[in-house]
Amino acid sequence: MVNPATILVTGAMVGSLYVLIAIGFSLIYGVRGVINLAHGAFIMLGAFAYLVAGGQVSGVAAFVIAILFVGLFAVGLYLGLVRYIEHNVVITFLATVVVALIIQQLLTLEYSLAPRSLEPIVSGGIAFAGTRVRYYQLIAFALSWVALGLLFLFVRRTTLGRNILATSMTEKGAKLAGTNVLYVNVATWFVAGAFAGFAGVFIGTLQSTSPTMWINPLGLAFIIVTIGGVGSIKGSIIAAYLIGFLETMTVTFVGPAWRGMFALLLLVVIILAKPEGLFGREFIE
C-alpha cells in the first residue's frame, strides 16, 4: 500500500526544487519578454561553482559563492550580449542556446562528461511519512520558501522591486515614470541568476552534476512557466508544485522511467486548453 503522506512529502520536495528551477526563467521571460535559453546553463554553473568553491572553503560559504557567481555571470551575459540583441526574439533564442553549448563544451574540456555527485552541506536524513527524507532536501525546501518570501518582499516593498514590476507591465510607461530601465534589467538578471545558482547547487547535490545537465532543467523551466502563465510568479510556483506532485504520483504508480514524460503531457493539455497558462496575463507594450 502506498502511503499518501509519502507522496505528499516527496512531491513537496520535488516541487520546491522545480520552483527554484523555474523562478529565474520566469523573471526574465515575464519581466523582459526575453526567453533566455542559457538559463539551464546558469543552473549548471551553480552546481559547478559549488563544486569548485567547495574544494577551497566550507559548504555554506561555497553555497553563497555559487549563488553570487551565477548572479554576476547572468548580469555579465546581459550586459555583454543580450541587451544588444533582445529586440530580435529569434536571434536571442539562438544566441542564448549557443552560449549554453559553449559553456557545456568548456565544462566538458575541464571536467569530462562523467557525472558526479556533490557533497551536501549536511548529510543524512530522517525517516518521515513512510519514506526517508534527506536533511538536505528539507533544507532546500525550507530555503526555497525563504527565498520566495524575500523575493516577494523585494518586489512589493522596495522601490527597485516595484520598478521591476512596473517595467514588466509596460516598458514605455516605466520609462516615462523615470525608471532607469538598464538598472532594472541588471537587477532582474542578477536575481534570476542567483535563483538559478541556488537551484544548481541543490540539483547538483541531490541528483548529479555533469556538463550536459543544463538541458533538462531548461525544458522543465520552460514548461513550468508556460503552464503557470508567463509573467506570473505565483503561476510558476503553483505549476511547479503541481508538476512535482503529479509527477511523483506517476513515478510511484507507473514507473520511474516516465518521470520526464509527465510534464510534457501536462504541457500539451494546458497549451491546447488554455494557452496563456493558468495565471497568464497580457503584455501591454
Partner 1 sequence: MSKSVTSVTEESAYGYGIPLFDTRVNLYQGGVLAVLLVSLVTVPVWAPPWAYLFALANIWAIFAASWDIISGHTNYISFGHSFISGAAAYTTALLTFNVNPDMAIYITFPLSVIVAVVAALVFALPSLRLSGPYFSLLTFVSVLVATKAVFIFSTYTNGEMGISTVSVLTFDTTMLFYYTLVPAVIITGALLYISRSNVGKVLKAIGQNEAAVEAAGLDTTRFKLWGFVYSAIPMGIGGALLAHFYGNVEPIAFLIVDRSIEIIAIAAVGGMGTILGPAGAAYLFLFLRDEVFKAFLGPNARWVAIWSVVLVLLVLSPQGVLKRLWTFLGNLGGDSS
Chain contacts with partner 1 (rule: CB under 8 A) = 35, 81, 84-85, 88-91, 93-95, 97-99, 101-102, 105-106, 108-109, 215-216, 218-219, 222-223, 226, 257-258, 260-261, 264, 267-268, 271-272, 275
Using left for φ > 0, alpha for ψ between -120 and 50, and beta otherwise, residue 33 falls in left
Q: How far apart are CA 3 and CA 51, in angstroms?
A: 36
**Quick check: 253 and 203 in contact, CB under 8 A?**
no
> Closest distance between partner 1 and the C-beta of residue 85, in Å?
6
**Is 22 or 140 the residue whose CB approaches partner 1 more closely?**
22
**Is 118 or 227 the residue whose CB approaches partner 1 more closely?**
227
> Closest distance between partner 1 and the C-beta of residue 274, in Å?
11
> Closest distance between partner 1 and the C-beta of residue 56, in Å?
26
Residue corresponding to grid cell 545537465 = 213
DSSP 8: H
**Is 11 or 40 the residue whose CB approaches partner 1 more closely?**
40
Vertex 230 angle, CA 169 and 84, to 5°: 65
**Is 80 or 149 the residue whose CB approaches partner 1 more closely?**
80
> Closest distance between partner 1 and the C-beta of residue 16, in Å?
22
**Is 182 or 268 the residue whose CB approaches partner 1 more closely?**
268
**Is 126 or 257 the residue whose CB approaches partner 1 more closely?**
257
End-to-end CA distance of the chain: 54
The packing angle between helices 215-228 and 259-273, to 10°, is 30
HEC assignment per residue over 116-168? ECCCCCCCCEEEECCEEEEHHHHHHHHHHHHHHHHHHHHHHHCHHHHHHHHHH
Q: How far apart are CA 152 and CA 133, in angstroms?
A: 28
> Closest distance between partner 1 and the C-beta of residue 160, in Å?
27
> Closest distance between partner 1 and the C-beta of residue 101, in Å?
5
